[in-house]
Structure 1
Amino acid sequence: MGWKAAQKIIQTWKILRGDNVMIIRGKDKGETGIIKRVFRSQNRVIVGGKNLVKKHVKQTQGNAGGIFTMEAPLHVSNVQIVDPVTGNPCKVGTKYLEDGTKVRVSRGIGASGSIIPRPEILKLRRHPRPNYVGPKDTPMDVVLEKTYDAKTGIGMPDL
């Protein structure tokens, strides 16, 4: 499924995968859903269970053909994040707390100004890091070996 390349690619995204959003334009206007996938190169998002279209798939050796219902991507300008306090769509701004952490806050007319939490799904890794020792991994005893002593100057390379 191909789309035209975006005319102006958004540099700083305020909508993330796993956010609760409301569709503000289109055939599903006024409905809310969770963002399943983000296409940053096309400025588009897929909202779970919304903007459903029929897809005709030809039968091949690997799969059975037929007519399938699937979610089509929406342009990011057609969705807005739902304010966690009021439940209305709102714009997103950033703010720094007193301890220096950067958070997203709701802003705009009728917004509560509350903090929009980061989605829990972003804390999970899609591809977990391998936890086995491979042939190119450095052994732990070599890593922890002390090779330079600052007081005596032992281990200092001759420059």
Structure 2
Amino acid sequence: MGWKAAEKLIRHWKVVRGDNVMIIRGKDKGETGTIKRVIRSQNRVIVEGKNLVKKHIKQGQGHEGGIFTVEAPIHASNVQVLDPVTGKPCKIGHKYLEDGTKVRVSRGIGSSGSIIPRPEILMIRTTPRPTVLGPKDTPMDLVLEKTYDAKTGRGMPEL
């Protein structure tokens, strides 16, 4: 990817993995599906079962060759999230509830203004968190050690 394309990366993503979306441009226009993967480095998403293309794969060690049908990425601007109440595509805005939690809401002409919940699939991590401390982790006694004195503006003397 060239530097011009890198300048135009989406900074604040409105669609996330697991959202129900409608394709608004391209050969699958008007069809709905679920976002399977978000490729942020290319501003693209993969919608489950949509934008299918034929891919020729050469036979190699450990796998068969042939012609396979795979899902190709779609640009993020060509999909819109479905309103959970009306079932129509809508834009997404953000609001803060009374308790301070940030939620996504549907907005635009003909939208209900209802809250769009975060998909459950986002709660499942693709890589599990480590449960035991590794050999490179810093012990807590070194982390909590005071090494700077704010009154004198100097480092603490070594003991």
Query: Deviations 1:51-107 (Å, cap 9, x if unpaired)?
Result: 000000011122110000000000011100000000000000001111111100000
Distance in structure 1 (CA, Å) of the matches to 2:127 and 2:94? 29
Say whether the 8 Å CA contact 1:5–1:41 is kept in structure 2: no
Q: CA deviation at 1:122?
A: 0.8
Structure 1 counterpart of 2:45 = 45
Letter in 1 for 2:132: Y
Q: How many angstroms apart in 2 are the aligned matches of 1:134 and 1:29?
A: 49
Determine the C-alpha separation between the residues in 2 that align with 1:40 and 1:132. 31
> 1:115 is matched with which residue?
115
What is the TM-score with the length of structure 1 in the denominator? 0.81
C-alpha change, 1:76 and 1:137, in structure 2 (3 Å) is: closer
Instruction: Specify the SS of the correspondent of 1:77.
Output: helix
In structure 2, what is the Cα distance between the partners aligned to 1:137 and 1:41?
Answer: 30
Partner Cα distance (1:76, 1:138) in 2: 41
> For residue 82 of structure 1, what is the aligned residue in structure 2?
82
Post-superposition Cα deviations, 1:93-140, rounded to whole Å, max 9, x if no partner, equal 001111111100000010000000011111111111122354456789
2-structure distance, mates of 1:25, 1:69: 21
Q: CA deviation at 1:158?
A: 7.4
Larger helix fraction of residues: 2
Runs of 5+ consecutive residues of structure 2 not aligned to the other structure: 143-155
1:21 corresponds in structure 2 to: 21
Identity of aligned residues (%): 75
In structure 1, give the amino acid aligned to 2:77: S
Q: TM-score scaled to structure 2, two decimals? A: 0.81
The two structures, once aligned, show a CA RMSD in angstroms of 2.7
